[in-house]
Structure 1
């Protein structure tokens, strides 16, 4: 067991202070968002691209634990998450994606905060996510969350390289943050 953080995110620092998001809104996704979410994930070029069907399902059946971020009505961020059926005090964050035009402004952090403030997460005391060893941005995001929540985190083995079909997928250890207070 190693102390650490969790999740998948594509971010970089590219925007100046004058480029700050002015009309940022968060909302639950709708099934009509699925195609745009798929395109956003594809355009990150760093996150695993799942089938378009999976994003339609997330938007339709997991809307309470997924977050859409919009600027001037345009999709600029998506966070997918769900509460595992056997753990009513845990939310698992699957992917955090930020459009290239909005990276480096803390949007991933804002989407995590939006998620944790929702009624659907009122019983949540732990946040989990898997993060590959090379995904430094996601590691920083989840370690930062643990620090802001003033709670411990640990990094545990979850999905080894051998479990992934084909060649070239890194292991995905799990970051477990918590317990934290609401």
Structure 2
């Protein structure tokens, strides 16, 4: 199994510092960059291949990779997209970054790719005032819950979970309830990332 090392295509994008090699002989470079609208269809297929994530329309993915490109990120290995994380600043709470979805191919799993993508977004200039991180999950999405609990541990932060959208009240029993996960990042999160950027998880 090859080790992943993470590299920004443009240092000004605020992407992640390369990760440690962990002493393994073969290392695969992962490029982290801001998405482009041309990535929309590939992102759609990636999300489709990552159950239990909700499959949005291609149009939605085009908006994510254009209107929300500043708070989203893609990961590439040999010019093939292996990861995507989308987010946005909550309009009435610009200190809160809401992570919409995190999708990683089988090739990229188990070596911290999701964590590095979240870091990459937090390092962007437009996230400099972000002090809280939020996402929603369904009860069956244990992988996403584990990811965000791990993020909370890395920041030494509080982790709250409450029901945001209820199965009967909001979805008319057509979808499982969505739980809101909220992590406080502290007053100055980016310097704290410097000491954890090489961690795997």
Q: Does 1 or 2 have the higher relative contact order (CA < 8 Å, sep 6+)?
A: 1
Normalising by the residue count of structure 1, what TM-score does the alignment of the two structures yield? 0.86
Aligned length: 164
Residue 116 of structure 1: CA displacement? 1.0
Write the distance in 2 (CA, Å) between the matches of 1:106 and 1:29.
Answer: 19
Alignment of 1:9-158 (within 5 A): 18-21=1-4, 22-158=28-164
Deviation by residue 1:28-68 (Cα, 9 ceiling, x = unmatched): 00000000000101111321100000000111101010010
Separation in 1, partners of 2:51, 2:151: 24
Q: Give the Cα–Cα distance (whole angstroms) in 2 for the partners of residues 40 and 48 of structure 1.
A: 11
TM-score normalised to the size of structure 2?
0.78
Deviation track 1:118-150 (CA, whole Å, cap 9, x = no partner) reads: 111100000000011121111111011111111
* Structure 2: gaps spanning 5 or more residues: 5-27, 190-201
Query: Where is the strand percentage greater, Structure 1 or Structure 2?
Result: 2
Q: Which has the higher helix share?
A: 1
Q: CA RMSD in A?
A: 1.2
Local SS of the residue matching 1:88? strand
Structure 1 consecutive aligned stretches of length 4 or more whose deviation exceeds 6 Å: none
Q: How far did 1:165 drift? A: 5.0
